[in-house]
Structure 1
Amino acid sequence: MGMFDRAKKRFRRFLQILFRRKRSRIGIYGPPNAGKTTLANRIVRDCSGDAIGPVSEIPHETRRARRREDVVITGANGNTLTLDIVDTPGVTTKIDYHEFLEYGLEQNEAISRAREATEGVAEAMHWLREDINGVIYVMDSTLDPFMQVNIMMVGIIESRDLPVVIVANKTDLPDAAPSRIKSAFPQHPVIMVSGLEGTNMSELYDIMTEHFG
């Protein structure tokens, strides 16, 4: 092996080490229908033109964690971050199959969906304990931020000492009040966005590169 080849190999190894150091696995968490998959799709589309999964008005549409690897985020500040995005099932303190009946599902399907949703919540918590090293926590800014699930989940994330960015989502809706989320969780950065319309995504990417890098 010549001197040039050895130098090239050393440089490639240096880049691999640098790449691994800057790579993060970021979980997108939040209650059902907070807009997690819409936000995940927006992030992945902005970076690759693809999507991570389907969305639905029916709660618990995401019943298994979905991961997209090697998503490269570039902030307006010039910082770049390579990460794996994990879109997790909606976390809740109660899953009742009757909730699915309200959306026109037959009882057998509703019971099956409730069972799958319960398994999905358990899977999301497993990811949080074992594999996630940063969290984007998504809240619907039209709802009360002091819901039990939000208090519980933010507490769990803090107990694991994970960096977290809170997203006040759905700011495109007329009854959105994202300032309530900012007041409820002043200890964490809160970014007000519309995952559907792409509002303030550049601000989110800036804080992600700073907070998760």
Structure 2
Amino acid sequence: MFIFIYNRTITYPNLGVFMAVMMRIKGFFSKLFGKKRSRVGIYGPPNAGKTTLANRIVRDVTGEAIGPVSEVPHETRRARRKEGVEINSGGSKLLIDIVDTPGVTTKIDYHEFLEYGMDQDEAVARAREATEGVAEAMHWLREDIDGVIYVLDSTQDPFMHVNIMMIGIIESRKLPVIIVANKIDLPDAAPQRIRSAFPQHPVVMVSGLEGNNMDDLYGKISEVFR
């Protein structure tokens, strides 16, 4: 049996025409199969309450949790994804994938983990894993994220270098973003500082732990990521 392979190269004299044809094809298949779910990444510095907030969102929808939480920094060292999370707000529904990412920081020192009772070998290993986690989080941001929930601890200074850097990266990628002023249940919380620091973006004040103002967050998610 003989198999003949016919190879033909089509040359478009006008790149604009070619791109227009490809966009029409893409539009046809988008209508045929429906729009893909948006991947919403939960980002922020370590111990801002990202996983607590992710667990609150996922539990409200599915009754499950996305991952464990701990007072030890960098407990989340690999991105975790929960698909098909349905956000209901004001009679509208939005289906998204939630991606809980490792805490992003500009410096990881193994001595930080010694304070939590780890021996040196364990602390060094933990620091290495945390560094790899930060790299993974940045990879997701560059390649696979359609929108960002950026979580900040309301008891901390929002003007930390890592926050300015991350918001700048998110803006450069033109990703829709909601900034969450978390931990408003704590007595020394000052969420208005976060609103003042980033007036160009929507800011929602919540407690992921207690569930305060989550309806406000769901309303903003439905508006921003639709």
Q: What TM-score does the superposition give when structure 1 sets the normalisation length?
A: 0.91
Measure, in 2, the Cα distance between the counterparts of 1:15 and 1:42. Answer: 33
Partners of 1:63 and 1:117 within 8 A in 2: yes
Name the amino acid aligned to 1:127: W
For each residue in 1:32-73, what CA deviation from the matched residue of structure 2 results, as whole angstroms up to 9, or x when unmatched?
A: 000000000000000000000000000000000000001101
Deviation at 1:151, TM superposition (A): 0.3
Question: Larger relative contact order (C-alpha < 8 A, sep ≥ 6)?
Answer: 1
Q: After TM superposition, what 4+ stretches of structure 1 lie above 4 angstroms from structure 2?
A: 13-16
Match of 1:144 among 157, 161, 164: 157
Measure, in 2, the Cα distance between the counterparts of 1:16 and 1:58. Answer: 47
Residue equivalent to 2:20: none
Deviation at 1:78, TM superposition (A): 1.4
For each residue in 1:80-124, what CA deviation from the matched residue of structure 2 results, as whole angstroms up to 9, or x when unmatched?
A: 110110000000000000000011111100000000000000000
1:124 is aligned to 2:124: no
Residue equivalent to 1:9: none
Name the amino acid aligned to 2:201: H
Q: Which runs of 5+ in 2 are unaligned?
A: 1-28
1:81 is aligned to 2:89: no
Question: How many residues of Structure 1 are paired with residues of Structure 2 in the alignment?
Answer: 198
Match of 1:17 among 5, 30, 33: 33
Match of 2:68 among 38, 54, 58: 54
**Cα distance change of structure 1 residues 50 and 16 upon mapping to structure 2, 3 Å threshold:** farther
**Cα distance change of structure 1 residues 16 and 53 upon mapping to structure 2, 3 Å threshold:** farther
Residue equivalent to 2:170: 157
Identity %: 76
Residue equivalent to 2:190: 177
Partners of 1:79 and 1:206 within 8 A in 2: no
Match of 1:190 among 192, 195, 203: 203
Measure, in 2, the Cα distance between the counterparts of 1:32 and 1:14. Answer: 37
Match of 2:77 among 63, 72, 86: 63
Name the amino acid aligned to 1:100: F
Aligned with 2:149: secondary structure?
strand
Measure, in 2, the Cα distance between the counterparts of 1:175 and 1:88. Answer: 26
Name the amino acid aligned to 1:81: L
Aligned with 2:70: secondary structure?
coil
Partners of 1:58 and 1:100 within 8 A in 2: yes
Residue equivalent to 2:3: none
Name the amino acid aligned to 1:160: R
Deviation at 1:17, TM superposition (A): 3.3
Partners of 1:178 and 1:192 within 8 A in 2: yes
1:133 is aligned to 2:149: no
Deviation at 1:79, TM superposition (A): 1.7
Q: What TM-score does the superposition give when structure 2 sets the normalisation length?
A: 0.85
Structure number with bigger Rg: 2
Measure, in 1, the Cα distance between the counterparts of 2:87 and 2:125. Answer: 37
